[in-house]
């Protein structure tokens, strides 16, 4: 039997060795079949990957025609049909399913010669119990002192530098330092340690950032992913290729992070600098992230066939509206909602914000929380819409998460034992010992029709005479002066079943108890909805 497996670093010469073996077999009159996987975009996106296409290698003069591009079960059938003595070659074998290993074994037992290039970890584990010949191709580090153990990419993901561990650590940190030096020199804050967004998983100590809430926003995405079965199944499958795109990706924080979490990741941004920086970092990290420089409208129009399991768009569509009109923004949202297979994460700049107030001049109505919720609900694309209100874990703006299928579990918050309504956010300004700071803010969703909100509390002497201002969904409903001791405030407020609302109460007095760093105003005994 003959089952030969070639391993080694990327571009170490595995394909070149395979081509030599195929040419030699063909020249001696043997039958040779070269088979590649049709099951992974990393391969299928290459224009040469098709029957009759040429598989090349680093040596430009050396190539071999591909006989078939097929999936794992087709490859298993093809193997079963081969006569003894035929050579069947699987290059980039990691893009076939692990269970193809058993077909390699049975074919090799029938004297079909199997050559495998670049198996996956999982395939190697299965091969451990099977008799085979392993050929590991070593290359030396460019320092010449040690064999290479790692690769570092520069311009693209084709031909890397082969490096030993020491050289890799040094060159990678030099490449990152050079990227950060360029960011420092560039707009939007030239010659300052100041940029818009951090880079994911890089040490940016000392940098001022416009968006400090990137990790909190990433957690919103990851929380949604963790409760979505269809995406979870893809992530668990080595060829599942769960996909993600961030529309308006800036310098790539979310696309990078999601690639790190197992997604085939992409990002689109109008800024050339942002896309260049993000691409450079992806190469340094050897991540196959697809970054595209484009405005949102053109991207959506030119990529109409592309779908993604998870799509995020943070504060981008309001710029489309500012530049191309309200209707253009609506069309973008419809395309985004439609093209998400499972989850849509939306942040929208509201027209109450000073920078947008005078920009979307043709808006028929103000763009606010209610507007986004209505748009998502009325689109009919979502089974469940969750709201993460401004301020939750430090997020800057409301974030809406649309699930196309029911999430496997609801988000659970239980700061308050409320009836008739369910918390949709953590309560900011509320502590587990029932004390409330000068500002309490919590998102709720009505479980049934709500017509009354009741707040029972106890006011300490330090805050006696404080005025409590009650707001529901941004609307101030009442100001009440409370004296020391117990108090009750009841407010009529109508929300239909399923409606989201934000409850906020602020106090104009607070105190710091001894030995306690908190600013406190009153004790919340019960928050009730009826």
The token pair that represents 258 in the structure block: 């999601």
The phi and psi torsions of 143 (rounded to 5 degrees) equal -70, -20
Please count the other Cβ atoms lying within 10 Å of the Cβ belonging to residue 433.
Answer: 8
Identify which range of 135-143, 285-293, 295-303, 520-528 contacts Zn ion by CB under 5 A: 135-143
167 part of the interface to Zn ion, by CB under 5 A: yes
Comparing CB distances to Zn ion, the nearer of 141 and 300 is 141
Contact map string, positions 387 to 416, toward Zn ion, x by CB under 5 A? ------------------------------
Q: How far is the CB of 9 from Zn ion (least distance, A)?
A: 13
Q: How far is the CB of 142 from Zn ion (least distance, A)?
A: 7
| Integer CA distances (angstroms), 498 to 235, 373, 420, 527, in order | 32, 11, 10, 18
Please count the other Cβ atoms lying within 10 Å of the Cβ belonging to residue 296.
Answer: 24
- Among 87, 141, 268, 336, contact with Zn ion (rule: CB under 5 A): 141
CA distance linking residue 189 with residue 182, whole number of Å: 11
Comparing CB distances to Zn ion, the nearer of 171 and 271 is 171
Identify which range of 136-144, 267-275, 392-400, 423-431 contacts Zn ion by CB under 5 A: 136-144
Residue entry with tokens 């997604």: 263
DSSP summary character for residue 496: -
CA distance linking residue 311 with residue 246, whole number of Å: 6
Comparing CB distances to Zn ion, the nearer of 152 and 470 is 152
DSSP summary character for residue 392: G
Q: How far is the CB of 322 from Zn ion (least distance, A)?
A: 51
Q: How far is the CB of 145 from Zn ion (least distance, A)?
A: 6
210 part of the interface to Zn ion, by CB under 5 A: no
Handedness of CA 253, 254, 257, 262 (dihedral sign): negative
CA distance linking residue 263 with residue 288, whole number of Å: 10
Contact map string, positions 453 to 472, toward Zn ion, x by CB under 5 A? --------------------
152 part of the interface to Zn ion, by CB under 5 A: no
Q: How far is the CB of 174 from Zn ion (least distance, A)?
A: 13
Comparing CB distances to Zn ion, the nearer of 145 and 192 is 145
- Among 36, 164, 231, 505, contact with Zn ion (rule: CB under 5 A): 164
How many residues bind Zn ion (CB under 5 A)? The answer is 4
151 part of the interface to Zn ion, by CB under 5 A: no
Reference 308, options 257, 247, 252; nearest CA is 247
143 part of the interface to Zn ion, by CB under 5 A: yes
State the Rg of the chain over Cα: 29
Comparing CB distances to Zn ion, the nearer of 85 and 147 is 147
DSSP letter string, 323-375: HH-HHHHHHHHHHHHHHEEEEEEEE---TTSHHHHTT-TT-SS--SHHHHHHH
Q: How far is the CB of 15 from Zn ion (least distance, A)?
A: 24
Contact map string, positions 92 to 131, toward Zn ion, x by CB under 5 A? ----------------------------------------
Q: How far is the CB of 160 from Zn ion (least distance, A)?
A: 14
| Contact positions with Zn ion (CB under 5 A) in 366-385 | none
CA distance linking residue 459 with residue 474, whole number of Å: 24
Q: How far is the CB of 12 from Zn ion (least distance, A)?
A: 15
The set of residues, in sequence order, having a beta carbon less than 8 Å from that of 175 and lying 6+ positions away, is 152, 154, 280, 284
Positions in the binding site for Zn ion (CB under 5 A): 141, 143, 164, 167
């Amino acid at each position: 039997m003959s089952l030969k497996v070639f391993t080694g670093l990327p571009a170490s010469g595995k394909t070149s060795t395979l081509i030599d073996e195929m040419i030699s077999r063909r020249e001696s009159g043997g039958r040779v079949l070269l088979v590649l996987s049709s099951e992974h975009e990393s391969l299928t996106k290459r224009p040469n990957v098709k029957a009759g296409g040429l598989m090349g290698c680093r040596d430009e003069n050396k190539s071999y025609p591909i006989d078939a591009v097929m999936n794992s079960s087709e490859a298993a059938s093809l193997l079963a049909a081969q006569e003894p003595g035929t050579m069947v070659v699987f290059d980039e074998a990691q893009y076939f399913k692990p269970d193809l290993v058993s077909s390699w074994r049975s074919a090799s037992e029938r004297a079909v010669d199997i050559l495998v290039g670049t198996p996956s970890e999982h395939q190697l584990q299965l091969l451990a119990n099977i008799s085979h010949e392993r050929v590991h191709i070593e290359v030396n580090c460019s320092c010449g002192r040690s064999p290479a153990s790692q690769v570092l990419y520069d311009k693209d993901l084709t031909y890397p530098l082969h490096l030993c561990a020491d050289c890799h650590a040094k060159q990678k940190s030099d490449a990152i330092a050079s990227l950060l030096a360029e960011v420092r020199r560039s707009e939007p804050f030239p010659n300052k340690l100041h940029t818009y967004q951090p880079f994911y998983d890089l040490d940016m100590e000392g940098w001022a950032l416009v968006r400090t809430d990137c990790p909190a926003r990433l957690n919103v995405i990851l929380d949604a992913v963790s409760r979505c079965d269809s995406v979870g199944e893809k992530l668990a499958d080595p060829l599942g290729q769960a996909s993600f795109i961030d529309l308006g990706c800036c310098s790539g924080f979310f696309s990078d992070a999601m690639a790190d979490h197992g997604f085939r990741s992409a990002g689109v941004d109008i800024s050339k600098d942002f896309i260049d920086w993000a691409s450079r970092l992806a190469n340094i990290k050897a991540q196959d992230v697809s970054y595209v420089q484009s405005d949102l409208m053109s991207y959506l129009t030119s990529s109409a066939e592309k779908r993604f399991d998870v799509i995020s768009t943070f504060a981008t569509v309001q710029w489309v509206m500012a530049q191309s009109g309200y209707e253009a923004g609506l069309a973008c949202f419809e395309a985004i909602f439609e093209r998400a297979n499972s989850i849509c994460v939306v942040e929208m700049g509201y027209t109450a914000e000073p920078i947008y107030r005078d920009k979307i001049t043709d808006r028929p109505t103000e763009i606010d929380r209610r507007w986004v919720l209505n748009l998502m609900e009325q689109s009919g694309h979502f089974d469940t819409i969750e709201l993460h209100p401004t301020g939750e874990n430090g997020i800057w703006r409301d974030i809406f998460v649309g699930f196309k299928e029911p999430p496997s579990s609801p988000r659970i918050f239980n700061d308050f034992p409320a009836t008739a309504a369910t918390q949709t956010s953590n309560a900011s300004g509320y502590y587990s010992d029932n004390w409330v700071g000068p500002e309490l803010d919590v998102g709720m969703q009505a479980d049934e029709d709500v017509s009354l909100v009741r707040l029972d509390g106890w006011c300490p002497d330090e805050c006696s005479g404080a005025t409590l201002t009650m707001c529901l969904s941004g609307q101030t409903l009442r100001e009440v002066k409370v004296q020391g001791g117990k108090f009750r405030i009841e407010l009529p407020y109508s929300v239909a079943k399923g409606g989201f609302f934000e409850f906020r109460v602020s106090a104009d007095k607070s105190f710091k108890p001894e030995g306690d760093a908190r600013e406190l105003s009153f004790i919340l005994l019960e928050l009730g909805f009826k």
